[in-house]
Structure 1
Amino acid sequence: MDGIWESFWIGLTDSEVEGNWTWVDGSPLNSRSDGCFWLEGQPDNSKARSASGEDCVTILTRGAEDLNIWNDDVCILAYKSICEKPAGTGPSSSVCG
């Protein structure tokens, strides 16, 4: 991954209401603490790749750095996902968005 940006879905979307960001469990984005991770100029709901715009969020990485940079993107793109797993449980109980 050195020098190459990769994107990972993080389970955040505004597909229900544009600009109203919610996590896959339905909880709202805490804009005061979570909203500080947006890449400059994002979210922008660009319609360059899809007429419906960008309704899902990725975290951008480059090697082991830049782990807290978010970008809104087209939901149908094939990126890897980051999953949340409750503490102390086995791999079969993970919840992915």
Structure 2
Amino acid sequence: MFLEIKLRDLMEVSEDKFWIGLTDSGKEGRWLWVDGSPLHERLTFWSNNEPDNWIALNPVGEDCVRMGERGGTHDLKCWFDQSCDVPQKSICEKATRTSPRVCS
């Protein structure tokens, strides 16, 4: 829900999508996060019939995962596999700041 709220404000057009850092480029069907940790299959948000590794536009298939609207729906909670070559916005994780801020 947190991501959905934050991303909705960043969507400039209805087709805006966001890479979430999940890929099966190493081995088809073995989904890993960018830090190398495996996807917990119980915690997925795949849209219907996804992942489908569609090869019509790219013979390599779809090895990266994005979240975002599909066909005009307003559900940002769904995941879709997509060719990694398609430009999308990205969600990045940052470490929390541990030292106190100093204002001058």
The 8 Å contact of residues 50 and 80 in structure 2, kept in 1 or not, is answered as yes
Q: TM-score, normalised by structure 2?
A: 0.74
Alpha-carbon displacement from aligned partner over 1:17-68 (angstroms, at most 9, x marks no partner): 00000000000001112x2x11111000000110010000001148xx5221
Aligned to 2:25: 15
Q: Which residue of 2 aligns with 1:52?
A: 60
The answer to which structure has the higher strand fraction is 1
Give the number of aligned pairs: 86
1:68 equivalent to 2:77? Answer yes
1:3/1:78 Cα in 2 relative to 1: closer, same or farther (>3 Å)?
closer
> Which one has a larger percent helix, Structure 1 or Structure 2?
2
Structure 1: gaps spanning 5 or more residues: 90-97
Q: Structure 1 segments of 4 or more deviating over 2 A?
A: none
**Cα-Cα RMSD:** 2.2
Aligned twin of 2:3: none
Name the CA shift for 1:30/1:85 in 2 (closer, same or farther; >3 Å). Answer: same
- Which residue of 2 is the match for residue 92 of structure 1? none
Whose radius of gyration is greater, 1 or 2?
Answer: 2
